[in-house]
Chain A
């Protein structure tokens, strides 16, 4: 990586039961991924309101990733199904608004998949870095 390369800002929403635990496991196993990823813990991926994602882009995030339990394994039985549908809708709308589909992602990471978590984050950061800075929804009034 070059020193002057743009460092993207990535917000990751992780469900408490699978993906947050998967992120912890990645830490336990010392699997590195870029520090650009900042994790916000939510009880379930279905707690992620589309508003949070819009807010992140508005405040200058370059990519948003939502991680939840694998379909069928949701701690709350059906939460990740809602996530899947809501985000499919939201991401296609964001794409229409000019926020490329590659900047948003939903990924299923179980509590046992520390390696998958790290690999996913490495891949996502690389993808977003390649796309460069996101300015589409950024509200410049927020940047004083």
Chain B
């Protein structure tokens, strides 16, 4: 029989408000095996933990039950407390009487009754607990960063500076991401390229960083400290190590009418191209869908002009397999498609553009060399209407847009409006908004400057319709503050489109078994206390893949993710999860049912010699679980027809004891 101590936490008034904690402690004292029971204001505090430690010593406890918040919150805390008092940390069970009791029920007698039952279930379980010792596994001291935008770049640089090798996988031909496409950055109006490109060069020159550009992750196996990753390097038909990036091939290429992705299709590029002047790696890439040589075998001009001999039309996709200790997801964001927003005439008029397109229009390296000209006729626009929240904060039209706030649009629209008025004071600029949200250092000051110093017309209200008429765009909108309908003849309409996670994030999450929210943003392990870790051990989150973020936030999160990775890679060995499957060899009949359902291939069969009751020996085939590979899901325990397979920490007998306690 165990000697169990029960510790009921008040959690201030969080639990004590709806649960009579004294009554719970008193009721649980009567349970079999319980030799000590008490309650305290904050069990997780130093004083609370000392109560537990002292009780373990004084009452020679062999198991403890803490009735408190969710085990996802403080199980680790109380396990450490137990270990410090000399008790096996796996002799601790938590009864979740906060998140799953006091916070969801309002009535004191009902809450108390349920808390007692949850406590009884935990006691019934701990009665059957056995001390567990986690195994150890080595750590591969190399990190993988998926995505080469500012988030991935910053994370990779920080990890590499700490001395660990890092690989960046970027699906585009160059790193840089969205930030490379921006013109200026709020609120200080630094030029994006001026602050980003030196970092890109740092990445390229860092001896600890390898860049796999034009590549994708296709397979992830393994677990924290020991991931096996397969990376597909798309054929770029140019030898990366030979190409000097001189650009001779680009200027000679006759296929000149390929929409330029980097400028969002607002101008054209060649079939062989370097995305932009500061691309890293600065290597040409052939677009196989546009190149005549690859499609029909006719042309070959680029190979003729390349003095380095870098062109290779026969190049094939290449697969790279590498081991990593940690994986950082930095897949970033995209604008949502404007197809469903017909009212803004985005698909009807070239002069209705998204903010990112506006960004390219004002960028000195953009399609108009930085001059603000209408895409349709190249004339300078005199009236510009900015529409905010296009697809953001869409409650009623959830299938059209997103319910969340995209966070960055208020600030970049203020920036666009301000810069337009600064460069072209003859331009009338209108901004239609639902709310202007400017929480951030120097953000509100920035917005107020746009209104007060630069005379941008901010109008609270939404644009209902944009109708192209002649060379004008008729904008119909409402001004909610003066309750008037407005009609504006605009030359250019700029839509602050909502942002969403990159499309590659969903399949990647499946590969990594990392969880996502309903909008396909990656979920963090704890929204406040573990914001850069995924619930899946060894997977970390950096940048907008976790939620809409501006650059300062992205960079700080990238650094935080890097420090978590460094903390992991600095360890030589990781202690594993001891709650894994094990087989009772006497009961196993070697049927292979468990092997077939194991998602990790952790189960193998061995021939073992057994002494039979009649004193003869027999060789039987029995299941054997590899403790380093088993992740403890328990699929095998249910598949096993003879009941030989069981899961430590979640044993069949323990769960049945819990069921019994609840159903008593």
* Interface residue ranges, A against B (CB under 8 Å): 9, 11, 16-18, 20-21, 23-24, 26-28, 30-33, 35, 38-44, 46-52, 55-56, 59-61, 69, 72-79, 82, 86, 110-113, 118
A27 in contact with B100 (CB, 8 Å): yes
Asked if B513 and A75 sit within 8 Å, CB to CB, the answer is yes
Known: A33-B104, A42-B650, A48-B638. A17 touches B658 (CB 8 A): no
* In the complex, B117 has a CB within 8 A of chain A: yes
Do B513 and A46 touch (CB < 8 A)? Answer: no
Counting CB contacts under 8 A, is B163 at the interface? no
Q: Is B398 an interface residue (CB 8 A)?
A: no
Q: Cβ of B647: which chain A residues have Cβ within 8 Å of it?
A: 43, 47
Query: 17 interchain pairs (CB within 8 A)?
Result: A11-B662, A16-B72, A24-B100, A32-B104, A35-B113, A35-B114, A40-B658, A40-B659, A41-B96, A44-B633, A47-B647, A49-B637, A49-B638, A73-B509, A75-B513, A82-B597, A112-B515
User: A111 and B104 in contact (CB under 8 A), knowing A20-B72, A38-B114?
Assistant: no
B365 interface hit (Cβ, 8 Å): no
Check B510 for interface membership: any CB of A closer than 8 A: yes
A44 touches B103 (CB 8 A): no
Judged by a CB distance under 8 angstroms, whether B652 is at the interface is yes
CB distance from B434 to the nearest CB of A (A): 23
> Does B517 sit at the interface, judged by CB under 8 A?
yes
| Residue of A with least CB distance to B125 | A40
Contact residues of B: prevailing secondary structure? helix
B99 touches A40 (CB 8 A): no
Q: Which residues of B, 33-80, contact A by the 8 Å Cβ criterion?
A: 70-73
Q: How far is the CB of A4 from chain B (nearest CB, A)?
A: 16
Would B100 and A78 count as touching, CB distance under 8 A?
no
Does B303 lie at the interface of the complex (its beta carbon under 8 Å from any beta carbon of A)? no
Known pairs A46-B635, A48-B638, A73-B516; A40 contacts B70 (CB<8 A): no
570-627 of chain B: CB within 8 A of chain A:
579, 597, 599
Give every chain A residue within 8 A of B634 (Cβ-Cβ).
Answer: 42-44, 46-47, 79
* Complex interface: chain A residues within 8 A of B599 (CB): 76-79
Q: With A40-B658, A40-B662 known to touch, is A47 a contact of B104 (CB < 8 Å)?
A: no
Partner of B663, one of A32, A60, A75, A86: A60
- The answer to whether residues A21 and B650 also contact, given A30-B103, A47-B633, A52-B655 and a CB cut-off of 8 A, is no
On whether the beta carbons of A50 and B659 are closer than 8 Å, the reply is no
Q: Which of B627-664 contact A (CB under 8 A)?
A: 631-635, 637-639, 647, 650, 652, 655-656, 658-660, 662-664
The answer to whether B106 touches A32, judged by C-beta atoms less than 8 angstroms apart, is yes
Known contacts A82-B639, A113-B518, then 18 further A-B pairs from the complex at CB < 8 Å, ordered by chain A residue? A24-B73, A24-B96, A27-B103, A28-B99, A35-B105, A41-B71, A46-B597, A47-B633, A47-B650, A52-B656, A52-B659, A55-B656, A55-B660, A61-B662, A69-B515, A73-B513, A77-B599, A111-B517
Are A38 and B121 within 8 A (Cβ)?
A: yes
Across the A-B interface, give the 10 residue pairs with the lowest CB-CB distance, nearest first: A27-B99, A47-B634, A59-B663, A112-B517, A76-B633, A27-B103, A44-B633, A24-B99, A46-B635, A35-B114
A102 CB to nearest chain B CB (Å)? 19
Interface size class of B (residues with CB under 8 A): 35 or more
B655 touches A40 (CB 8 A): yes
Determine which of B105, B510, B535 lies in contact with A21 in the assembled complex, contact meaning CB atoms within 8 Å. B535
| A residues less than 8 Å from B104 (CB atoms) | 26-27, 30-33, 35, 118
Q: Is B427 an interface residue when CB atoms closer than 8 A count as contact?
A: no
List chain A residues, Cβ under 8 A from B194: none
Query: With the chains together, A111 CA to B521 CA distance in Å?
Result: 12
B523 in the interface (beta carbon within 8 A) = yes
A-B contacts, CB under 8 A, total = 156
What are the residues of chain A within 8 A of B106 when measuring CB–CB? 32
Are A56 and B659 in contact (CB-based, < 8 A)?
yes
* B residues near A49, Cβ cutoff 8 Å: 637-638, 652, 655
Given A72-B510, A76-B599, do A59 and B650 touch, yes or no (CB 8 Å)? no
A81 to B518, CA, bound (A): 20
B70–A46 touching, CB < 8 Å = no
Q: Please provide the chain B residues from 100 to 155 with a CB less than 8 Å away from any CB of chain A in the complex.
A: 100-101, 103-107, 110-111, 113-114, 117-118, 121
Chain B residues within 8 Å of A32, by CB: 104-106
Decide yes or no: A111 and B659 within 8 Å by CB, A23-B100, A73-B516 being known contacts.
Answer: no
B360 at the interface (CB under 8 A from A): no
A39 to B71, CA, bound (A): 13
**Nearest CB in chain B to that of A42: its residue:** B650
- List chain A residues, Cβ under 8 A from B516: 73, 110, 112
Known: A35-B105, A73-B516. A47 touches B638 (CB 8 A): yes
For the complex, give the distance between the alpha carbons of A79 and B193 in Å: 46
Measured in the bound complex, the distance between the Cα atoms of B652 and A18 in whole Å is 21
**Cβ–Cβ < 8 Å partners of B71 in chain A:** 41
**Which residue of A24, A75, A79 is within 8 Å of B70 (Cβ)?**
A24
Known: A21-B72, A24-B99, A110-B517. A47 touches B113 (CB 8 A): no
A27 to B115, CA, bound (A): 14
Q: Chain B residues near A47 (CB, 8 Å)?
A: 633-635, 637-638, 647, 650, 655
**A23-B100, A35-B111 are known contacts. Are A76 and B631 too (CB-CB below 8 A)?**
yes
Complex alpha-carbon distance, A23 and B72, angstroms: 11
Closest Cβ of chain A to B539, distance in Å, is 11
